[in-house]
Amino acid sequence: MEVHKAISAHSKKQHAAVQEFLRLEAEREAAIDSAVMLCLQHQPFSVDSINMTTKQINALSKYGITAERKYVTEEMVREYASRLANK
């Protein structure tokens, strides 16, 4: 019975980590979308909120359950916005 409880507890922790990853990933994508929209409108933007969320995602990935994400630079946002504008 103890093994079953340990496996259940481990499984719950993994599920919680995946759920947190999904929440953070959605937050990160929303922050990227916001930065791109501001860039397309020639407004000032920052990648700080994107990278704060990225830092949390990468800390979570240390447990080996979820993936890491790259930090985003302002230049990356500009390049992506430029590709969108030229479509």
**Residue pLDDT tens, the chain, 87 long:** 788 787 887 788 888 999 999 999 999 999 999 999 999 999 999 999 999 999 999 999 998 889 999 999 999 999 999 999 998
49: CB partners within 8 A, 6+ apart = 31
pLDDT at 41: 97
Tell me which residue of 68, 65, 56, 55 sits closest to 13, measured CA to CA.
65
Residue tagged 């630079």 (tokens) = 73
> Global pTM?
0.87
Helices (H), the chain: 2-40, 48-61, 74-85
